[in-house]
Amino acid sequence: MMAPVDPESPPPAPAAKDTEREVTRPRVNGWGCPLHPLQFVGWFFVVFFAIAHYGFLVFYTPDHWRIATIIVSVQLQYILR
């Protein structure tokens, strides 16, 4: 059972702020700043493989397969999301 509170007593003093450690909110998702260095590495490889796929591999396929290759790869991206 809690002790009764005297209504005329002063409010408790706030706790001393910890100056050594800054309190931060946890991230909700991976888009919050500051970005982690591995996020830069990951985005580099995503862009690299996208350029390699669409700029190199797709356009070196035979002409009669090119449209089918583009269509299938775009559909796979939406399916695998």
Each residue of 43-70: pLDDT tens digit?
899 899 888 888 887 778 888 888 888 8
The reply to whether the predicted model has a pTM over 0.75 is: no
- Structure confidence at residue 3 (pLDDT): 67
Residue, of 26 and 69, whose pLDDT is higher: 69
Give CA separation, 30 vs 5, 14, 22, 33, 44, in Å: 45, 34, 20, 8, 16
pLDDT classification of 26: cutoffs 50, 70, 90: confident
Question: Is it the case that residue 9 has pLDDT exceeding 80?
Answer: no
Backbone dihedral region for residue 23 (phi beyond 0: left; psi -120 to 50: alpha; all else: beta): beta
